Amino acid sequence: MTEHTADYVEGMVADRRRLHRRPEEGWLEFETTYFIAERLRSLGFEVRLGTDVICPEAVMGRDPAAVEKAMERARAAGVPQDFLDETKGFTGCAGILSTGRPGPVTALRFDIDCLPIAETDDPDHEPNREHYASEVPGLSHACGHDGHTAVGLGTARWASENADRLTGTVKLLFQPAEEGVRGAAAMAASGIVDDVDWFAGAHVGCGAAPGQVGVSHEGYLATTKFDLEYFGTPCAAGSPENGHSALMCACATVMTLGSLPGHSKGITRVQIGRIVSGTGRNIVAGHAFLALEVRGETTEINDYMAKNVETTVKGMAAAYEVDYRLTRMGEAVTYKGDEEAVELVKDAARHAEGVTSVVDMNAKVGSEDCTMLIRRIQAHGGKCAFFYFGCRHHGHHKPDFDIQDRTTLPVGWGVFTGFIERTNGRKA
């Protein structure tokens, strides 16, 4: 590692550890957004915030009361009020670096939110050992988005310092609310990527080993996330004819959704992750809440599953004589990369320091809302790719997730900066 590269690495490690200490959930990342925006501005980027990068009408899974509390917390942590006003209550931002020379528009995406998972207190867990564990009870960066953000800031510094070697425009998208696939659709709907020619997104870990870069030609399952509420009529359990049980309706719905028919043309998934109902053993429950999702190997299959949910819920509500509210809380589509962009990522990876192997990684598991940005870009002919940069981990979304930042972050940074060199580098 050269002395110059080592300086970038130390900066990314410091940023990642600072972000790791202050995790914030989706749509609530005001401290994180301020940290990013201030850095981008110091590097000469134009910064766009709020409704310039988020379309309010396309926002899903955002609780206004939680947003207000998050803004109060951010103020207490030193985020200026004028910056919070600038966000108009929406987190995330885009940094835009225009070279002033003709050339393509290249965008890179980095997600910034955390998970509602308490970090392990195991003293051998590196963040505990190195004193940068989460300071926020019940929240942690258990999926590596702190590393993604740090790589994005390292890439921003590289682009700023090498702007005289570039053409066109570089856009760095720091996206809120990836968990629950809630944020990318609203960012795409803002129009921020409507001029993008080349795009790359990535995720740390997953199936990629340390030093390995896995590049996807296709993958991910389309998904729709729902919140479901049933509103019944409570009454004393001794006179059940006077009430209508939201709890019984919810339980019947769970069993029925678990038995939904799949699709002959591909993978399907149904998951009911949470049910909350009832106030006492002798009271017919007047309310029930369920959190659920469906997934499909293609967007069409997922839409088929989502339609089945809507039909089932409507029928169950009628059968149990209760009212209901079914709300879409997030969505993502399937991914298919463009071979031109995939090959540029592979070439960048082969030349990136610290990379020991470059492989195809096309597993159709999980979901990723980066696909919403990709679909928007591909609709006007832009070329997109997605890749993984490896680490040693115990499983995503677990209390002891970790990424070995000193060796992991340089790989992601090397691929992203190499991608920009190949799309926007000045020709000799």
Query: What CA–CA distance (Å, rounded) separates 211 from 355?
Result: 5
The answer to whether the pTM exceeds 0.85 is: yes
User: What's the pLDDT score for residue 366?
Assistant: 85
Tens-digit pLDDT profile for residues 242-287: 999 999 999 999 999 998 899 999 999 999 999 999 999 999 999 9
Q: Average pLDDT, whole number, for the chain?
A: 96
**Those residues with Cβ within 8 angstroms of residue 28's Cβ, 6 or more apart along the chain or in another chain:** 66, 67, 70, 91, 113
Exposure string over 139-151, b if 16+ CB within 10 A, otherwise e: bbbbbbbbbbbbb
All structural domains of the chain with their residue ranges: 3-220+334-424, 222-332
Angle CA 398–404–408, to nearest 5: 110
How many Cβ atoms sit within 10 Å of the Cβ of residue 38? Answer: 14
Tens-digit pLDDT profile for residues 25-48: 999 999 999 999 999 999 999 999
Bridge partners (DSSP) listed for residue 290: 228, 275
CATH of domain 222-332: 3.30.70.360
Which CATH class name applies to 3-220+334-424?
A: alpha beta
Find the radius of gyration of the CA atoms of the chain: 23
- Least confidently predicted of 340-344, 411-415, 424-428: 424-428
SS3 string, 165-204, reads HECCEEEEEEECCCCCCCCHHHHHHCCCCCCCCEEEEEEE
The fraction of the chain above a pLDDT of 90, given in percent, is 95
Is residue 88 left, alpha or beta, with left meaning phi > 0 and alpha meaning psi from -120 to 50? left
Tens-digit pLDDT profile for residues 108-130: 999 999 999 999 999 999 999 99
Among the listed residues 294, 229, 218, 232, the one whose alpha carbon sits nearest the alpha carbon of residue 257? 294
Tens-digit pLDDT profile for residues 364-390: 778 999 999 999 999 999 999 999 999
User: What's the pLDDT score for residue 4?
Assistant: 64
Q: Looking at residues 318-346, what average pLDDT do you find?
A: 97
Angle CA 165–171–172, to nearest 5: 110
- Inform me whether the pLDDT recorded for 70 exceeds 90: yes
What does the CA dihedral 28, 32, 38, 43 come to, rounded to 10 degrees? -130
Among the listed residues 136, 119, 121, the one whose alpha carbon sits nearest the alpha carbon of residue 77? 136
Give the DSSP letter of residue 120: P
